[in-house]
Amino acid sequence: MSVTYYKRFRMEVDLVRGDFSQISVPRGYSLVAWRPELVAKHAEVKYESFREEIDAHVFPCLGNYAGCSRLMDEISRRTRFLPEATWLAAFKHPNAEKEFCGTISAVSDAAGYGAIQNLGVTPTHRACGIGTLLLKKCLLGFQKQGLRRAYLEVTAQNVDAVRLYERLGFRRTRTTYKAVESEASYV
Ligand SMILES: CC(C)(COP(=O)(O)OP(=O)(O)OC[C@H]1O[C@@H](n2cnc3c(N)ncnc32)[C@H](O)[C@@H]1OP(=O)(O)O)[C@@H](O)C(=O)NCCC(=O)NCCS
Name which residue sits closest to atom 33 of ligand 1, judged by CA.
160
Angle subtended by helix axes 39-50 and 65-77, to nearest 10 = 130
User: Read out DSSP for 87-154?
Assistant: EEEEEE-TTS-EEEEEEEEEEE-TTS-EEEEEEEE-GGGTTSSHHHHHHHHHHHHHHHTT--EEEEEE
Q: Which atom of ligand 1 is nearest to the CA of 116?
A: 48
164: left (phi over 0), alpha (psi -120 to 50) or beta: alpha
Residues in the chain, how many? Answer: 187
Give this prediction's pTM: 0.95
Q: What is the DSSP letter of 17?
A: T
Summarize pLDDT for 78-118 with one digit per residue, the tens.
999 999 999 999 999 888 889 999 999 999 999 999 999 99
pLDDT for 158 equals 98
- Between CA 148 and CA 158, with CA 153 as vertex, the angle to 5 degrees is 130
Tell how far the Cα of 157 is from the centroid of ligand 1, in angstroms. 15
pLDDT for 1 equals 77
Is residue 165 within 8 Å of residue 132, measured between CB atoms? no
Which residues are bridge partners to 151 per DSSP?
12, 115
pLDDT for 93 equals 86
For a substitution probing ligand 1, which of 31, 101, 119, 166 has the most ligand atoms within 8 Å of its CB?
Answer: 119
